[in-house]
Structure 1
């Protein structure tokens, strides 16, 4: 440390002289060597000078420590990520190599520019830029994403942390932006959004076409069913008319599924109980059944592949009951259908309160063969005992859920 000769002070300094002496020490304009203090003959003056020397050295040490700390922090930040140093007017004073590489600009081309000149024009960047300025004005840190113009057509993105520091070099406020390049992540996210949107558009188009297909199939089946109805109105052969009606109700069972699929959101599954209720209501009208049909049970969604099979099963059972279960003067006729879901099985229960029959004495006609084909063959169901005696009008079976959907 360079030394200067201190002009000898009188033994007793007045207030003004002492004040000026302290100011010189505090501002760093006075340097006093220990040799000068030791050579001082005046003991009182020596004590004062020694105290001032100690204070001066401590102040210098603290300023050097702060400056070194600032420079160390600055050096550390300049070697990581992208760093920009701004003055309080948001003008660029310094930037590290990472930021210059990120923006594809040399320092002399952006030094003194407002940071806003480098930002891309966009709603998100504008919103975050305004939030950043408000935070800094309130002396608070801020973190968010900013877009920077890398060229006329290309934009880069930084995840920025903004802080306010006092510069030890310039004794003024500085704003530091420390950013991580997330351009690849942002571009990938944008590509995924575009891809997902294209997939949604494609799916919507396919769903529309599939609904249109269900609608047309329903219309075609209903047209065929209407032809059968017209034929029934003129057919005099009762046996043939009976066959035509049976076919017509089966066609309706299938067309009703397409009708439901057109109306509901899902095109893959259908509420089984709701579907069977619609079939039962149609059969009650088409067969002229004067009794009641009750359907109850658990909500169960079934695939569109399996639903028509249940529709045909119910169609066959109700048609058979309306033909054979009661005499012409029977009253309080009832049909009860239940769908019950178990952890691993679906239980189907059907019964009427008709006169009953002996299963062992009934010829296995086309209807029974059709039921066996669907229940035992298609669903691999296990038939359950549900009546109190062999003449009970009841059919009960359970199906492993794995064999349904």
Structure 2
């Protein structure tokens, strides 16, 4: 579990390369700093009180009690999972900290090139507290989607490693922020091409590597379900990459390196909630659908006019929805080994009827609505208090130099 936790932590520097390569050269450092700062802010919040909010004693199913784990003062005897998995409470808390970190960092791609670094720092702290922790509590901490009338009427929703908690959550938040903050100067009229595609591919590779800890580690045991999660993560991602490239080839005439890297991430996102709960055929279908739909969805921002700079909505929101909903078709308790989902049912294609499918849709919609609405309100508050946008002069001249006093390259004009 310590190894898995370290792999998940590596995903955030990997994301920094992935996002950093996708922006223009004049803002590469700022983009990477948004990911690195997410480690600092989310990690500290999680350690001080965030873990208790997510996994503490529930208050009406909505939020946990932060007093249960202030400064990660944890007693193994009081953690219900210790007796089942053998994983110490502190190790589990550390593992979950890396999930909070990567979720915050994912959001930053939606607002690249145009925001104040200080406002982003404040947003990260507020968002972990008010959005991430409540949804994590609902799904994994015994909250609304773990007990109560929703589960009594339907079944227990399956989110093996973060489809709702991480990807749908981050994608909905990214859309809310993009709408509040507004478009980059020149969006839709000027080319805004990735300045360093090797960075993008390196980042995608690091993300894929770290994602094995993300998905297989979520079983909290070295068993057959962890092995299945690992294999499904591999194969679904292979299929999604190929599906994205084929979609690109038919649509644009070229299969690109950016498409390959984006397809990898789309497949990883989609298989995350289903990794330990579907057979290989389910993983293949999930990867195929995600590769095609996400490749098409990244163009929605031009149709609807919102500036999701690095396609957080198209990849993470759409990919997260694909994986979460397709669980309702392909989940089978024949492979389900995790103690998290003992109340779940087989999917539609495995004789379980439509109940689990409806459950998955309800969980996804709850996550979308809550994350979007609360993020929108946080963004409006910060817009009034601190302001989001750097000046137009700084945005055009280079946010790296204006905000951080440094640039990624000596001859910055060559990579704009």
Structure 1 or 2: more strand by fraction: 1
Structure possessing the higher relative contact order (Cα contacts under 8 Å, 6 or more residues apart): 2
Task: State if a TM-score over 0.5 links the two structures.
Answer: no
For normalisation by structure 2, the TM-score amounts to 0.26
For normalisation by structure 1, the TM-score amounts to 0.27
Structure 1 or 2: more helix by fraction: 2
